[in-house]
């Protein structure tokens, strides 16, 4: 045998000894006569697959005493647990303090009213009001009071036309545009129909009251068809004692199906005591009375007494400083600090705050003419322009004041204690006052202001009231004094305020 033959035979032997090297083909046979890649598995012939118990078997097992006792035990445990949870829920409901029902509120109770007494000075007529509605909406006001807009010759009742808009201000189409856009933003619109607004007496004289009332009623009915949300008149005592007063009320309060929202009958009064205002509200049934009590009562003691008298009628009461005379707040609040102080006071008093245009930026009147509204208060000076430091400081102050106004308006709209809460006096002096606003289980608020020219320490005392007492400390929510930082805690025993400063404090309901 040759050498090559011996090598070939060795390869054959190795291949036979190494099955893994055998080709896995369909024709190849593995050792033992099996084909490569196949596995034989023997299944025991006696293996049984479990298919569960039959119905007869289940019924037989279920009827045994052990399973019957088990089922009854589980059923009893289920009902005991269910009854326990029911009893616990009832106990929680019974022991929990009951919520006080929300008083009936109308749209004019839900936020401030914004009075645009001169649409020309505000923004070049009625069309300008429409253009500025986005800016007005940022103040979170609930209603606009426009005008008076009608044509009038001072002290001439014969030429009075309450249905015709003075063409200097615009036309009916411009007013319709204002109404449509305002309503889309959730802002109601009230027209001031004070008849002789340019003359010596708002209602001319006693001899003309009946004829003028007829014109007011006819005009009110006319403007309401244009979807105006109410009317306002000045010197409310005169029409409220007229024989036609009830007819005017009926005109306002008959709502059509297309406009179910209640319409506002509003009147302004000046130089009346708090007691007289209260009687006028009760006797006349007017929806909202705006008085000048804050302006006519200069001392804190007088102002707190006015609130004591009127707080129970807060849903029918409007507060303003200058608004009853269609004047800016700044006419009586002579400094920026005092303007902020009165803004805080008006937003937290029991009643509806009413502001005249420009009050949100501290607009100053020069002389007797209505001041021109200042817009673009946040506009930066043009590049390269000469910067007047005095003008720049005034602009910065207006921006800060408007931010302050917005924060107050936003807070009042969210907090029930400020929106419609109960009122309790805490302190008063010739130049300061403090009071508490509380609603059910909501956060409580204390307003403390010092409009005097000297620092003052206010000692807060709450008359004995069931379920209500002052805690030892309160949290500063808003403050005009930089040293009284927001979220800081101060003692409620005594509060020291600098001259012309105000603070709004908060403390929680504790049950």
Walk me through the domains of the chain, giving residue ranges and CATH numbers. 108-414 (3.20.20.80), 425-507 (2.60.40.1180)
> What is the C-alpha separation between 181 and 498, in angstroms, rounded?
44
- Both tokens of residue 327? 């004047």
- pLDDT of res. 206: 81
Note every long-range contact of 377-386, with CB atoms under 8 Å and residues 24 or more positions apart, other chains counting. 377/402
Contact 156, 211 (CB under 8 A): no
Write down the pLDDT at residue 10: 46
Residue 289 near residue 280, CB atoms below 8 Å: yes
Phi, psi torsion values for 444, nearest 5 degrees: -100, 150
Torsion angle defined by CA atoms of residues 218, 223, 224 and 226, in that order, rounded to the nearest 10 degrees: 140
Residues 6+ apart with CB under 8 A from 21: 15
Which pLDDT belongs to residue 8?
47
Chain mean position to CA 511? 25
pLDDT tens, per residue, the chain with 511 residues: 444 444 444 444 444 444 444 444 444 444 444 444 444 555 555 555 666 667 777 777 777 887 778 888 888 889 999 888 988 888 777 766 677 788 889 999 999 999 999 999 999 999 999 999 999 999 999 999 999 999 999 999 999 999 999 999 999 999 999 999 999 999 999 999 999 999 999 999 888 899 999 999 999 999 999 999 999 999 999 999 999 999 999 999 875 445 578 999 999 999 999 999 999 999 999 999 999 999 999 999 999 999 999 999 999 999 999 999 999 999 999 999 999 999 999 999 999 999 999 999 999 988 888 999 999 887 665 555 666 788 888 999 999 999 999 999 999 999 999 999 999 999 999 999 999 999 999 999 999 999 999 999 999 999 998 889 999 999 999 999 999 999 999 999 999 999 999 999 999 998 7
**DSSP-derived secondary structure letter, 289:** E
The whole-angstrom separation of Cα 151 and Cα 11 is 125
Residue position matching structure tokens 């007829």 = 214
The H or E element that residue 81 is part of is: helix 65-95
Query: Quick one: tokens of 443?
Result: 């956060």
Using CA atoms, how far apart are residues 156 and 122, in angstroms rounded to an integer? 27
DSSP structure class, residue 325: G
Q: Residues of 62-83 as b/e, b for ≥16 C-beta within 10 angstroms?
A: eeeeeeeeeeeeeeeeeeeeee
Axis-axis angle for helices 65-95, 55-62 (nearest 10): 70
The confidence score (pLDDT) of residue 381 equals 57
Single pTM value for the model: 0.81
Q: What three-state secondary structure class fits 79?
A: helix
pLDDT (0 to 100) of residue 380: 60
Phi and psi at 326, nearest 5°, equal 60, 40
Q: Which of 268, 167, 178 is nearest to 226 (CA)?
A: 178
Contacts of 209 (CB under 8 A, 6+ apart): 203, 238, 239, 242
Query: Residues 149, 150, 153, 154: is their CA dihedral positive or negative?
Result: negative
Query: In angstroms, how far is the first alpha carbon of the chain from the final one?
Result: 115
Euclidean distance between CA atoms 349 and 163, whole angstroms: 36
Question: What's the CA gap between 208 and 243, in Å, rounded?
Answer: 13
307: Cα separation from own chain's centroid: 23
Contact 361, 329 (CB under 8 A): no
Are 494 and 457 within 8 A, CB to CB?
yes
Number of H helices and E strands in the chain, helices first, is: 16, 18
pLDDT at position 17: 45
Closest by CA to 124, choosing from 180, 188, 181, 170, is 170
Pairing mode, strands 352-356 and 113-116: parallel
Distance CA 373, CA 121 (A): 6
């Amino acid at each position: 045998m040759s050498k090559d033959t011996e090598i070939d035979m060795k390869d054959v032997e190795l291949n036979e000894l190494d099955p893994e090297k055998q080709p896995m083909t369909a024709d190849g046979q593995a050792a033992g006569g099996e084909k490569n890649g196949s596995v034989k598995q023997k299944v025991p012939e006696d293996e049984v697959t479990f298919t569960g118990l039959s119905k007869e078997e289940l019924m037989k097992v279920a009827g045994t005493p052990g399973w019957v006792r088990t089922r009854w035990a589980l059923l009893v445990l289920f009902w005991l647990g269910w009854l326990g949870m029911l009893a616990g829920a009832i106990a929680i409901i019974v022991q929990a303090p009951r919520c006080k029902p929300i008083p009936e509120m109308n749209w004019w109770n839900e936020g401030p009213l914004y009075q645009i007494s001169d649409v020309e000075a505000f923004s070049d007529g009625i069309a300008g009001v429409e253009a500025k509605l986005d800016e007005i909406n940022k103040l979170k006001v609930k209603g606009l009071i426009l005008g008076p807009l009608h044509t009038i010759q001072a002290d001439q009742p014969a030429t009075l036309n309450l249905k015709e808009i003075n063409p200097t201000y615009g036309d009916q189409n411009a007013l319709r545009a204002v109404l449509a856009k305002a309503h889309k933003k959730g802002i109601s619109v009230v027209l001031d129909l004070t008849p002789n607004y340019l003359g010596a007496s708002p209602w001319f004289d006693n001899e003309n009251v009946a004829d003028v009332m007829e014109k007011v009623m006819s005009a009110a009915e006319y403007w309401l068809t244009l979807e105006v949300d109410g009317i306002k008149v000045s010197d409310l005592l005169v029409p409220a004692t007229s024989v036609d007063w009830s007819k005017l009320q009926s005109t306002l309060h008959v709502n059509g199906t297309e406009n179910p929202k209640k319409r506002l009958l509003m009147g302004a009064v000046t130089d009346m005591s708090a007691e007289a205002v209260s009687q006028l509200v009760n006797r006349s049934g007017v929806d909202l009375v705006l008085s000048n009590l804050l302006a006519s009562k200069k001392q804190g003691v007088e102002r707190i007494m006015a609130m004591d008298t009127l707080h129970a009628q807060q849903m029918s009461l409007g507060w303003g400083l200058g608004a009853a005379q269609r004047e800016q707040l700044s006419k009586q609040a002579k400094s920026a600090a005092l303007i902020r102080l009165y803004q805080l006071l008006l937003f937290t008093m029991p009643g509806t705050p009413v502001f005249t245009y420009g009050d949100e930026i501290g607009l100053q009147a020069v002389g007797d003419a209505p001041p021109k509204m200042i817009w673009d208060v946040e506009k930066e000076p043009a590049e390269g322009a000469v910067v007047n430091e005095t003008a720049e400081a005034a602009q910065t102050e207006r921006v800060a004041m408007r931010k302050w106004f917005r924060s107050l308006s936003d807070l009042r709209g969210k907090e029930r204690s400020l929106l419609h809460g109960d009122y309790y006096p805490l302190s008063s002096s010739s130049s300061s006052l403090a009071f508490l606003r509380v609603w059910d289980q909501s956060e409580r608020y204390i307003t403390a202001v010092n409009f005097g020219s000297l620092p003052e320490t206010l000692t807060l005392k709450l008359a004995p009231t069931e379920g209500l007492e002052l805690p030892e400390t309160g949290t500063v929510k808003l403050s005009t004094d930089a040293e009284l930082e927001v979220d800081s805690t101060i003692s409620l025993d005594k509060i020291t305020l600098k001259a012309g400063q105000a603070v709004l404090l908060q403390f929680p309901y504790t049950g």
